[in-house]
Amino acid sequence: MNNSKVIVALDFASDKAAMQLVEKLNPELCRLKVGKELFTRCGPTLVKDMVSSGFDVFLDLKFHDIPNTVAKACESAAELGVWMINVHSMGGVAMMEAARSVLSHEDAPILIAVTLLTSSGENELNALGIDQTPADFVKRLAAMTQSAGLNGVVCSAQEASMLKQQCGSDFLLITPGIRPENAKADDQNRIMTPKQAVDNGSDYLVIGRPVTQSDDPVQVLKEINAQIGFAS
């Protein structure tokens, strides 16, 4: 069983580039995240290949549509054998409940919802006419997600402690915007180191470029796992 908290974001433009990295990695050291760019270009076959290679796969497509469409999309995603899928909480409670209804069987993937993207802050909320701080808005979306029966949310590690207090220890928090010490922030605004994030309540850490663009991604993963107290 894979107990690693690290999810490597495979932000590649081709299946060849993605699989070149995946072949270097060990399923005991990490899980994998396939997002919109890679999935749109390469499709479900690539996801199935990763699952067949022993990896837990987080299919990060952020479904956001009418309830029936999202439910059918989640059902299709589950058939790929993925470990976790997500919807966007701003689709509303009815949409999230529809997704939950088709993933109620015992071997269903973990179902989570996106709250506020880590590239967004108060300026972006204000531009949308939302007169709330990012923290207050995330709390509101997390409460909606929990009420719909989902397993957790994607959030900033800066909000993890707050959401653990609000939603309880069993409500999963998946946090992107994780950067090891001395790594570039890139396009993320609300970031933390792996240890800071876990100490703050994050259950899973999404880490992309610090691993995928490293000369030695396996060593980077070992160092991150050591920093958060995980040994394979």
Question: Is beta strand 57-63 parallel, antiparallel or unpaired with respect to 6-9?
Answer: unpaired
Give the pLDDT mean for 110-118. Answer: 90
Instruction: Flag whether 223 is in a domain.
Output: yes
Rg for the chain, CA atoms, rounded: 17
Chain segment 192-215, per-residue pLDDT in tens = 899 999 999 999 999 999 999 999
The percentage of the chain sitting over the pLDDT mark of 90, rounded to a whole number, equals 78
Give the pLDDT mean for 167-182. Answer: 89
Instruction: Flag whether 84 is in a domain.
Output: yes
* pLDDT higher than threshold 80 for residue 171: yes
As given in the structure block, the two tokens for residue 151 are 């397993």
Q: Please report, for residues 95, 194, 221, the alpha-carbon distance to residue 227 in angstroms, rounded to integers and kept in the order given.
A: 38, 7, 10
What does the mean pLDDT of the chain come to? 92
* pLDDT higher than threshold 70 for residue 190: no
Catalytic annotation on 195?
A: no
Instruction: Flag whether 1 is in a domain.
Output: no
Query: Residue 1 has what pLDDT?
Result: 57
Instruction: Flag whether 175 is in a domain.
Output: yes
Higher per-residue confidence, 129 vs 117:
129
Query: Residue 191 has what pLDDT?
Result: 66
User: pTM value?
Assistant: 0.92
Query: Residue 230 has what pLDDT?
Result: 74
CATH number at residue 68: 3.20.20.70
Judged by phi (left if over 0) then psi (alpha if -120 to 50, else beta), residue 92 lies in left
- The residue segments making up the domain with residue 31 are 6-227
Query: Residue 232 has what pLDDT?
Result: 56
Instruction: Flag whether 232 is in a domain.
Output: no
Q: Which of 48, 62, 72, 222 is catalytic?
A: 62
Give the closest residue to 204 by CA, choosing from 4, 2, 1, 10: 4
Query: Residue 177 has what pLDDT?
Result: 84
- Contact predicate 67/43, CB 8 Å: no
Domain count, the chain: 1
